[in-house]
Structure 1
Amino acid sequence: MQPANKTIVVTGAGSGIGRELTLQLLRKGANVAGVDINQNALSETQQLAGVGDERFKGYVLDITDQARVENFPTEVITHFGAVDGLINNAGIIQPFKPVNELTFDQINRVMQVNFYGTVYLTKAFLPHFLQRPEAHIVNVSSMGGFIPFPGQTLYGAAKAAVKIFTEGLHAELADTAVRVTVVHPGAIATNITANSGLPGPKVDPNAASSKMALSASKAADIIIRAMEKNKYRVTVGKDATLLDILYRLSPKRASRFIGKMMKKTLSKM
């Protein structure tokens, strides 16, 4: 789907990849409904966008609030007249701890934001998309959604759920005008640690090495091009692409490799 003259909802629009997606979509002629839990962050995105409410409107929304999300499409359609796309980008990581040391509150929060937030928004907008001439759903999973990262096991499980959910949607919607893409980013230079409410340095849980981190701007460009080309699946970053190949060849060897690299990374935190 080409973004020009389309209205696209972007979650996590206040920072990182979400902000870059917003800015790049606006430059391509799209209207954007930007979603974030942080009003100040949305205001910063609005200032950077340099456009009025008719092109970009920020919505403070907790995507884990099912009742609010169910009513959200009405707000967007009332303002923009229609909605054509959804990029479920918002996500958080877990504390850098093994499963045995996580509380159920921590586990539930990671699952609620990363998986159920994606499901809630998709369910809310899908009936409207099915009425459009064309529409597109982009769900951001993770490199951690297809290969395990010790110390981020629940994060990976949530993103793996997003992967299968998205692939199932693709199959279910194959005979409709709604296209679906799943995205697997590798290490991206964002402040996801701080945005997840966690202390410590800005370490992306997907990174075997911070030197592999891709800029948020480049990641957004790859994601938008995948939407434009109606791709089924896209890896973002050399690390994601290489580990995808390695995991297909030998899941056990790939998992051991990541385990060793994560131990080195976590020991420096």
Structure 2
Amino acid sequence: MQLANKTIVVTGAGGGIGRELCLQLVQRGANVAGVDINLATLDETGRLAGVGRDRFAGFQLDITDGEKVSSLPAEVLAHFGVVDGLINNAGIIQPFKLVNDLSMDAINRVMAVNFYGTLYLTKAFLPHLLERPEAHIANVSSMGGFLPVPGQTVYGAAKAAVKLLTEGLYAELKDTNVKVTVIFPGAIATNIMQNSGLDVPNADAGSDSQFKTLSARQAADQMLAGIEKNQFRVVIGQDARAMDKLYRLNPKYAADLIQKKMRSLLR
């Protein structure tokens, strides 16, 4: 789907990849409904976009509140008139703890933001997307959604659920005008840890990595390119692409490799 002159909803629009998606969508000629829980950072994204509210409008929303999410389409439609696409980008990681040490409150929060938030937004906007001549849903999973990462097991489970949800949507919507893409970013330079309410670990799990961490701008560019090509899956970053291949060839070896890499964060 070509993005110019389309209206796209982006969650997690207040920073990181979400902000870059908004800025690049505007540059590509799209109108953007940016969604974020943090009004101050959302307003900053609007300022950086450098366009009027006819091109970028921010909507403050807690995506874990299903009732409030259900009212969002009416607000966006009242402002823009149409909705052509949805990018479910918002997400948080869990504290770097083993499942045995993780509280149920933390588990529920990770599942609520990463999986249920994505599901709520999809359910809310899908009826409207089906009415468009062409439309698109893109859901951001993670490298952790296909590869087990100790200390991020529940986060990975949530992102694996996003993966299967998105692939199921692809199959269900294959004969409709709504195209579907699942996105698997690897290591991206964002502030996801701070936004998740976590302290940055002292150890650097990627210090010996041969793979370069991508900027949020590079990641967003690759995501949008994949959407415009109606790709089924988009794997972002050398690390994600390498581990995607390795995990499919030898899942146990790949899992053992990641376990060794994560040891320093779990001591």
Q: Aligned letter for 1:259? A: Q
In structure 2, distance between residues paired with 1:207 and 1:163: 28
Q: Aligned letter for 2:50? A: G
Q: Aligned letter for 1:144? A: G
**Cα deviation, residue 43, structure 1:** 1.1
Question: 1:39 maps to what in 2?
Answer: 39
The DSSP-based 3-state class of the residue aligned with 2:53 is coil
Question: 1:224 maps to what in 2?
Answer: 224
Question: 1:15 maps to what in 2?
Answer: 15
Q: Is the Cα–Cα contact under 8 Å of residues 96 and 265 in structure 2 kept in the other structure?
A: no
Question: 2:178 maps to what in 1?
Answer: 178
Cα deviation per residue 1:160-187 (whole Å; 9 max; x = unaligned)? 0000000000000000000000000000
2:250 equivalent to 1:247: no
In structure 2, distance between residues paired with 1:210 and 1:124: 41
2:82 equivalent to 1:105: no
Question: 2:121 maps to what in 1?
Answer: 121
Percent sequence identity over matched residues?
Answer: 66
Q: Aligned letter for 2:241? A: T
Q: Aligned letter for 2:235? A: T
In structure 2, distance between residues paired with 1:189 and 1:253: 27
Q: Aligned letter for 1:41? A: T
Question: Structure 1 stretch 206-215 or stretch 23-32: which is displaced more?
Answer: 206-215
In structure 1, distance between residues paired with 2:46 and 2:103: 37
Cα deviation per residue 1:144-174 (whole Å; 9 max; x = unaligned)? 0000000000000000000000000000000
1:202–1:18: structure 2 CA closer, same or farther, 3 Å change rule? farther
In structure 1, distance between residues paired with 2:131 and 2:57: 23
Question: 1:200 maps to what in 2?
Answer: 200
In structure 2, distance between residues paired with 1:84 and 1:232: 18
After TM superposition, the structure 1 = structure 2 runs for residues 59-78 of structure 1, keeping only pairs within 5 Å, are 59-78=59-78
Q: Aligned letter for 2:43? A: S
After TM superposition, the structure 1 = structure 2 runs for residues 100-179 of structure 1, keeping only pairs within 5 Å, are 100-179=100-179
Cα deviation per residue 1:7-64 (whole Å; 9 max; x = unaligned)? 0000001100000000000000000000000011011101111111000000110000
Cα deviation per residue 1:83-119 (whole Å; 9 max; x = unaligned)? 0000000000000000000111000000000000000
Q: Is the Cα–Cα contact under 8 Å of residues 7 and 85 in structure 1 kept in the other structure?
A: yes
Question: 1:4 maps to what in 2?
Answer: 4
In structure 1, distance between residues paired with 2:236 and 2:4: 23
Q: Aligned letter for 1:218? A: Q
Cα deviation per residue 1:105-135 (whole Å; 9 max; x = unaligned)? 0000000000000000000000000000000
What TM-score do the two structures reach when normalised by structure 2?
0.96
Q: Aligned letter for 1:151? A: G
Structure 1: 4+ residue segments shifted above 6 A:
202-208
Q: Is the Cα–Cα contact under 8 Å of residues 86 and 138 in structure 1 kept in the other structure?
A: yes
Q: Is the Cα–Cα contact under 8 Å of residues 187 and 205 in structure 1 kept in the other structure?
A: no
The DSSP-based 3-state class of the residue aligned with 1:234 is strand
Q: Is the Cα–Cα contact under 8 Å of residues 194 and 202 in structure 1 kept in the other structure?
A: no
Q: Aligned letter for 1:33? A: A
1:4–1:206: structure 2 CA closer, same or farther, 3 Å change rule? farther
1:223–1:137: structure 2 CA closer, same or farther, 3 Å change rule? same
In structure 1, distance between residues paired with 2:135 and 2:218: 24
In structure 1, distance between residues paired with 2:4 and 2:186: 28
Question: 1:235 maps to what in 2?
Answer: 235
1:136–1:104: structure 2 CA closer, same or farther, 3 Å change rule? same
- The number of equivalent residue pairs is 267
In structure 1, distance between residues paired with 2:201 and 2:265: 11
Q: Is the Cα–Cα contact under 8 Å of residues 97 and 266 in structure 2 kept in the other structure?
A: no
Q: Aligned letter for 1:112? A: A
Once superposed, what is the RMSD of the aligned Cα atoms? 1.8
